[in-house]
Every structure is written in structure tokens, then in C-alpha cells.
Amino acid sequence: MAELRWNPLLKDWTIVASHRQNRPQMPKAWCPFCPGSGKVPENYDIYRYDNDFPALDQSPPEPENVGSDFYRTKPAYGKCEVILYSPKHDALIWELDLKHLRKLVDLWCERYIELSKDEKIKYIYPFENRGKEVGVTMPHPHGQIYGYSVVPLKLQLELESSREYYEENNECLICRMNKEEEEFQKRIIIENEDFICYLPFFTDYPFGVFIVSKEHRSKMIDFTEREKDNFSSILKDITGTFDSIYDKVFPYMMAIHQAPVNSAEYGDYDKYFHFHVEFYPPLRESDKIKYNASSETGAWANCNPRNVEETAEELREAYRKFSSKNSK
């Protein structure tokens, strides 16, 4: 079964993909993403791979006959792709050179352009899950891209908040966030010519940094060539910083937020929406996880168990350590 089910309480769609429950457990000695597996080319740097067990499909089955006029269903239309970062099974992002990472950025851009040609797709969402702490069973370095047929609720809220702020203040909401963080300084972790990485004032994860473009860009394909290079650079720096906090591979969820596609109802979103990357790292200490329990999950009342300004200093120290080690 694969279908979308309407949640009238939240006015949102739930993806039901029960077929994914039947995904096989991969043998420890075999990885489908490694050269020699027969599933990927023998030689590649970055590679796009159609998900074998997609939650969304461009030829979806008809929904089960279990809904009603009230409990609506519709086909789980969309696209699910896997993006392989490297042929090396145990590679880490920060170990890849900048030319290699630039190929990843270029592929994200290529897929945004290609998937947007499908007018049924409304939002293109590159993301990465890293570490067993967030449920990863395939350690080979990879991320994913989902092309949704509806704009997900969180992105709807970001778009609506950004449009409302722009209409009231004639200013981009995230440009204003950048200005606040630049003036305060103490939550900034890394900065280069074109991007700034900081722990937002309101972040609900102890190490939940944002990467934000300094210039107002609504989507990755709007970046200049220099911006693409500097985006590659700051991705390398922040992932290396994460792994330097506790001197071990640091788990996280990475979410790339950019303008929707084929969504005229949101008006001129290029004017008011601002590209950014949100990280959700579950660790609050080396051996302790920040769980989203009843308050966070049931009430959406997020709680950060640590002071943002203190963890920002820990991140800056980790960045200094990573930079020192990486320059040798």
C-alpha cells in the first residue's frame, strides 16, 4: 500500500507506505551502493539512484478502498531519489575535497530543475539522515531527495510566516534573522564570503545550526558559481565541526529548505522566501540523546535542554579544532 491520507485536525496529508516495511535487511558484508554490487556503476563520484522502496511514486497505485468523503485519500504521487556522495563505503563528507562536494551541489541543482518539470510536484526536498541514532541502517554516505505533490506542513508554515513578515515589513524574514545574529555574534559558528552558519536564537536542538545564504536567494539554483563553491565549503566545515565535538561520527538530520515549485498560490516566493539548511542533531552530550517526547511530539512545544549561547561556544571550539587538524 502507498497512498496519502487526509488529517482533518492538522489539514495535512499523511504518507502511508506500508510496502516499505518489507525492505530487506542488507547483509553486513554487502552494500548495494558500493561499486561491485551490480546496483551502481563501477566508477562514480556522485550518483543519483532511484529509491528501491519509494514512499512516493510517479506511477502510484490507486488508494485502498478504506476512505470516505470525510477521510479522504489520494495517490502517493511524487519521486524519491537516493544521492550517493561517494563510492567509498565509510567516507565522511568533510573528508571529501571541495571539487567533489561541488559535484554534489551541482547534482542537487540538476535534480531541482529536472523534478520541477513535473507540474504535479510542488516541493523538492533534499535531506540527509546520518547515524544509527536517527534510524539509519545503510551507513554508506548518502542523502535523499523527495519530490512531494503537496507542500509539507512545516514548509507551508515557513512560507506563510515569511510572506506575512515581508508584506508587513518590506523585508525578508531570514535576512532579518541573519542581521540579528551578525549583530549579536555569540551564536555564529562559521562564516565565509557567501554563507553564515549559526545556532538560531530559538533552536530547539542543542547543536541545531542553520546554514543561510548571505545574499537573498530563494533556492540553490539561484547561487552564483562562487556561492556554490562556498556552500560546498561550509558543508565541509560544519560536518567536520560536528565530528570534532565529541571526536566521533556525529549523528544528524539535515534538511534543505528552499522555494517550492509549481505553486502559484504562494505568490512571488522568490521575493520573500530565503534558502537555508536546518540541522537536527539528536545528541545533547556525548552519550545522551535529546528525545522528542510527549510535549515536543504531541503538543509541538519544543524544548531545548541546553543554553544556545553555551553550545555555540562548544561548536566554535570544535570548529577551531577541526580547522587546525584539517590545515595540517
Active site residues: 142
Give residues with Cβ within 8 angstroms of 250, minimum separation 6: 130, 131, 242, 243, 281, 283
Q: Which of 118, 164, 172, 170 is nearest to 145 (CA)?
A: 118
Q: Which of 120, 109, 46 is nearest to 79 (CA)?
A: 120
Antiparallel, parallel or unpaired: β 73-75 and 142-148: unpaired
Distance CA 128, CA 136 (A): 10
